[in-house]
Amino acid sequence: MPVIAKSKEELINIISESVSVEGDLVNIKDEKKLRDKTIDDLIYTAVFSEDEGTKEEAKRIIRETANQFGAVAASIHDFYMAIGRGEVDNLTTPAVNIRGMTYDVARQIFRVANKHNVGAFIFEIAKSEIGYTFQRPSEYASCVLAAAIKEGYKGPVFIQGDHFQFNAKKYAEDPEKELQAIKDLTEEAIKAGFYNIDIDPSTLVDYSKPSLKEQQYHNYINTAKMTQFIRDIEPEGVTVSIGAEIGHIGGKNSTVEEFEAFMEGYLSEIPEGMAGISKMSVQTGTEHGGIPLPDGTVAEVKLDFNVLKDIGKVAREKYGLGGTVQHGASTLPDELFDKFPESNCCEIHLATGFQNIMYDLIPEDFRNEIYEYIKENFKNEWKEGQTEQQFIYKTRKKGFGPFKYQWWTLEDQYKNRILEALYNKFEFLFDKLNVFNTKESVEKYVKPVKISYGSVKG
C-alpha cells in the first residue's frame, strides 16, 4: 500500500531517494525508484492526504517531475489542424472519460499506447463528472501524468475538459453569471494542464426562432466569448484546442445547415487572425450512457453516420477543422467502431461502457453497498415509471466519488480483473479507431511546451 503523507515535510522525506525538491526546483534522481514506488506515494498523497497543502505540493511535484520525465501536458490543436488540411486522415482519436480508479485505469491506456505506438488519445472529464466523481481538474491531471510516469510513457499527453456546459435555466436568470462560472472552471482546468477544452453552450439553442442563425445565436456568441477568454489566458506557446457543439446530445440530429449557421455567426464574433475551434460535436442519434430498458439492458441505438460524414466534410474542406466529434458512443456495438475513421470523425468520447465493466467485476457486497447509498441519497432522481434497474443504471455513476478510496484500494484479485478487462477493451477500441502507430504523426505536429503547475496568463 502506498504511503500517504500527512505533511509537506513527510512527503519530501518519503520521495527523497528518487526525487529532490529544492524550492521550486524538482529533479529526478533515480528514475527506476521513481517508477517503482515513489510515484505511487505521490499520487496517493495528492488524492488522499488530509492536509490540503500537502496535496497541492504532491500535485506540483508530479507535474514538474512529468515535465522532466518527458510526459508533457499538451494541446491536440495542431494535429487536428493537420487533419483539416488533409495531411492526416482515416483515424478517430479516442477521448476516454475516467470516473473511478483514475490512476490505475490511465495506466492501462498508457500500456496500450506503449505497446502499439499510439499518440492520438485523450484523457477527459466532463464538468458534471468533476462534481460527482470528486475529481477537480488538478487531481485528474495529476492522476494522468503520474500514470504516464509509472508506465514509462513519454510524449504529448492530452488532457481535456469535456462538456463545459452552460446551464440553460441559470443562463436565462443571469447570463453573465453563468458565463463567468464557465470561465472560472476553464481557468482552473487550464492551470491544471487541461490544454483541450470542449465548450458547450448547445443547451442554449432555441429551436423556436425562425432562422437557423437565430436558433444558434446564444450558442455561437458564448462559444466566441469563451474562445477569446481562453486565448487571453492560455500559457505562452500553447494554443488550447477548443471544441464546440451544435446539437445537444440526446436531442434531434444535427444538420450541415445548422453547422454552417453556427460557423457564420461564430467567425464573425472572434477577432480576425485568432485561432478558433478545432472540431465540432454533433448529435447523431446517441444518448449519454445509452438508454436503459426496464430490465436494465441498454436499447439498441440507430446512429446516423451520414451526420458525421457530411458535417465533417464541410468542417474540413470549408473551415479547416479536424472534423466532427461523436459523444455517447461507448455502449455501441463493437462492430460499429471501425466506421468512425471513415466518417470524417476526428474524435469520439467514451465513458459509460468502461463504467459498466467496473461495476460488473467488483465484489457483490461492495456493489450492493454503493447501490444502497444511491437509493438513499439520490432517490429524488428516481423518475416516475423507472424500474429499479433503470434508476440504478442511470445513477450509479454517482457511486465513484463517495467511495473513491474503496475503489482505489480494492483487493488485488478484483482490481486486476477489472484492469485486465479495461486494457483489452482499450486495445480493441484503439485498433478499431485506427490510432495504432500514430505517435510519430502526432509528434510531427504537436510540440509540447513544459509549463509549470498553475501557470496561466493573467
For residue 302, is pLDDT > 90? no
How much of the chain exceeds pLDDT 70, in percent?
95
Q: Give Cα separations from 382 to 129, 133, 167, 218, 251 (angstroms).
A: 19, 20, 21, 32, 21
Q: Give Cα separations from 337 to 76, 255, 262 (angstroms).
A: 22, 22, 28
Characterize the bridge pairing of strands 19-22 and 25-28.
antiparallel
pLDDT of residue 332: 81
Domain end (from 69, 101, 118):
69
Q: Is 158 helix (H, G, I), strand (E, B) or coil?
A: strand
Question: Which residues are CB-neighbours of 348 under 8 A, at least 6 positions away?
Answer: 92, 93, 94, 95, 325, 326, 329, 340, 433
**H helices within 247-342, ranges in order?**
256-269, 305-319
Same domain, 388 and 436: no
Nearest to 259 by CA among 324, 193, 173: 324
Same domain, 234 and 368: no
How much of the chain exceeds pLDDT 90, in percent?
88
Q: What is the pLDDT of residues 397-437, one digit of tens each?
A: 999 999 999 999 999 999 999 999 999 999 999 999 999 99
Same domain, 274 and 382: no
Question: Which residues are CB-neighbours of 409 under 8 A, at least 6 positions away?
Answer: 1
Which of these ranges, 59-63, 65-69, 128-132, 385-389, has the smallest mean pLDDT?
385-389
Across 19-40, average pLDDT: 96
Asked, for residue 2, whether it belongs to a domain, the answer is no
Domain end (from 48, 69, 90):
69
- Answer yes or no: pTM beyond 0.75: yes
Q: What is the pLDDT of residues 69-88, one digit of tens each?
A: 999 999 999 999 999 999 99
pLDDT of residue 335: 87
Q: What is the pLDDT of residues 266-279, one digit of tens each?
A: 999 999 999 999 99
Question: Which residues are CB-neighbours of 123 under 8 A, at least 6 positions away?
Answer: 95, 96, 98, 106, 109, 140, 144, 157, 158, 159, 160
Q: What angle do CA 192, 160, 184 make, to 5 degrees?
A: 55
pLDDT of residue 293: 46
Range of the domain at 65: 8-69
Across 122-133, average pLDDT: 97
Same domain, 354 and 207: yes
Asked, for residue 335, whether it belongs to a domain, the answer is yes
pLDDT of residue 407: 98
Q: What angle do CA 187, 192, 197 make, to 5 degrees?
A: 55
Count of positions (residues) in the chain: 458
> Domain count of the chain?
3
Across 454-458, average pLDDT: 75
Q: Give Cα separations from 341 to 164, 201, 241 (angstroms).
A: 25, 26, 20
CA distance 239 to 277: 10
Which of these ranges, 131-135, 148-152, 324-328, has the smallest mean pLDDT?
324-328
Q: CATH code at 297?
A: 3.20.20.70
Mean pLDDT of the chain: 94
Handedness of CA 360, 361, 364, 370 (dihedral sign): negative
Nearest to 79 by CA among 443, 448, 456: 443
Same domain, 100 and 48: no
For residue 298, is pLDDT > 80? no
Same domain, 337 and 386: no
Across 149-163, average pLDDT: 97
Confidence of residue 456 (pLDDT cuts 50, 70, 90): confident
Confidence of residue 369 (pLDDT cuts 50, 70, 90): very high
pLDDT of residue 441: 98
Q: For the CA atoms of 262, 349, 398, 230, what is the dihedral angle to 10 degrees?
A: -50
Same domain, 142 and 252: yes
Asked, for residue 456, whether it belongs to a domain, the answer is no
pLDDT of residue 235: 97
CA distance 367 to 347: 32
